[in-house]
Amino acid sequence: MTKPLWAPWRMEYIRAAHKSSGTGKRNCLFCRLLRAKDDAKNLILIRGKLGFVVMNRFPYNNGHLMVAPNRHVRVFEKLKPEEGRELLDFVQLSLSVLGRDMKPDGFNVGMNLGRVAGAGVVGHLHIHIVPRWLGDVNYMPVLADTKVVSEHLGKTYARLRRRFERS
């Protein structure tokens, strides 16, 4: 007999998916986060002049971060040089903070540009940073369409926010 594994956060993701999938600024997930004032509620770790770092609310692994420009831009080649520099500075800072705090065995860092490439937020480019540990892949995503995240987002946010503030 199959036993259910409850993942109530998935319903929030399913309901929000259509809101963040468009290319316009009005419905853009990242633009909405930037307009909001409550960084803790929205999991924003640090804001810069041209970009910001935010935790992924539906992470692949603990510590899954995203680095995005403040400006709503879809095409990587359209980034201004100073935007690209700040984004890479934030990627470097994020790798340093996550490395010290979570001690992963490695990282996946990359972008999904365009819907066919897997972009969930098509109109606002962003860089994913996913900490990886030896043995962090198991059968759950394949058999149960469920990812086990071992620490509450709020607890991870509080700890990482302190580390970003000190960096």
Catalytic annotation, residues: 126
Burial pattern 134-164, b for ≥16 Cβ within 10 A else e, equals eebeeeeeeeeeebebeeebeebbeebbebb
Q: Enter the tokens of residue 121.
A: 């937020």
Contacts of 69 (CB under 8 A, 6+ apart): 50, 51, 79, 83, 86, 87, 124, 125
Whose tokens are 């394949």? That residue is: 142
User: Is the dihedral angle over the CA atoms 100, 104, 109, 115 positive or is it negative?
Assistant: negative
DSSP 18: H
